[in-house]
Amino acid sequence: MSLRRSFLSRKFSSKSSFRDPNGVEGIVRVAVSEVEGASGQPGGTDGDLMQGESSWSSMLPELLREIIQRVEASEDGWPNRQNVVSCACVCKRWRDITKEIARGTPHSGKITFPSCLKQPGPSDLPHQCLIKRNKKTSTFYLYLALTPSFTDKGKFLLAARRYRHGAHTEYIISLDAEELSQGNNAYVGKLSSDFLGTNFTIYDSQPPHNGAKPSSSKSSRRFASKQISPQVSAGNFEVGQVSYKFNLLKSRGPRRMMCSLKCPVSEESVTSKPCENLMMKKSASFSPSSGSTILRNKAPRWHEHLQCWCLNFHGRVTVASVKNFQLVASIDHSQPGGGKGDEETVLLQFGKVGDDTFTMDYRQPLSAFQAFAICLTSFGTKLACE
């Protein structure tokens, strides 16, 4: 009880927690080091590990929960967010409570565990990310920006590699920067295009909602053979589509794109726009329980002095490129008052800042996985759309 009283009596702040070795961060560090030490010592045994875990798992529930809640509340971003992950590494009991508390703040958009990459981003300020391209290996890396600099990599989030299957192109998206295949445990989803590279389908490795069924198309299956494990789905789940409009008259202007995504139904969800083309008709098959969000690219303005199309990226884009875009919620004109669309709030923006460096800023209702997949569609030449 003396430990609990001394902890609760200590004023906690994000600054003091790192300066005081006996603060919350100190408690977490000691817990992790003891458990890792028990398993990593040359003479350590499973019994040593169990003893180290049990000493921390037997901590008073109210003290344990308060420690984790304070760590969760104080560490808003990386690299300090690592302390929340450290809490989950102590033992199973700590991990369960940490995940429960982290899931209790869905609107914050904080990225803590890999599962957070498929949860909606923040509702206020967008997450600022960087995409690094390796042309030799056709690989793309997504990083969470930790500084305003475009040269810092930041924290690695996802990787994608482009594969060609005949006339079609696929992007395999993975949590592992090296192992990018559908058979790997790090596989999280993929992006598939048609032969023109103007229509894309986003697939998730996990069902987006209860009762969701995997896509029945042959190209959407993860494995060529039968399902190898009941824990691993043999198929992929369609969660979105991206379509680029043809520019048959070759009129001047940027690419025009539209996205249809499965997003959880909430008060902030955007009402779907009526189907306008084949891509929109396909999206009508989405489950009503999952909701459908329609996004379109924000129309740029023509700058007479510069003689180019311009969008305000607020300093996050520095190189003019046909790949640059901003997505906003499409207004549903069939609904009273124009629906819940907002054509001013940018939900996703993507732009070039270097030869192989791009920025990606996203916010709710998009997740990092969805935003990354949408941005991948911008790579590659689209002669029919330019």
Domain with CATH 3.20.90.10 in the chain: 127-209+234-264+290-378
Instruction: Domain 127-209+234-264+290-378: give its CATH superfamily.
Output: Tubby Protein; Chain A (3.20.90.10)
User: Please, what is the average pLDDT of the chain?
Assistant: 74
Burial class (CB in 10 A: 0-12, 13-18, 19+), 161: middle
- For residue 225, pLDDT over 50 is answered with no
3-state class of 95 per DSSP?
helix
Measured CA to CA, the distance from residue 38 to residue 49 in angstroms comes to: 5
Q: How far is CA 338 from CA 157, 256, 296, 335, 384, in A?
A: 37, 22, 16, 5, 32
| Mean local confidence (pLDDT), 55-77 | 81
- Least confident range from 99-103, 143-147, 266-270, 305-309: namely 266-270
pLDDT at residue number 265: 43
Cβ proximity of 35 and 92 under 8 Å: no
pLDDT tops 50 at residue 360: yes
- Amino acid 58: pLDDT: 77
Q: According to the model, what pLDDT value does residue 279 have? A: 37
- Write the pLDDT tens digit of every residue in 162-198: 998 877 889 999 999 998 888 888 999 999 988 888 8
- Residue 55: per-residue pLDDT: 67
Model's pTM, two decimal places?
Answer: 0.76
**In the prediction, which pLDDT does 351 show?**
93
CA distances from 326 to 73, 231, 239, 348 (A): 31, 38, 20, 6
% of the chain exceeding 90 in pLDDT: 28
In terms of Cα–Cα distance, which of 144, 171, 163 is closest to 155?
144
Span 334-344, average pLDDT: 56
At 366 the three-state DSSP class reads coil
Residue 9 pLDDT > 70: no
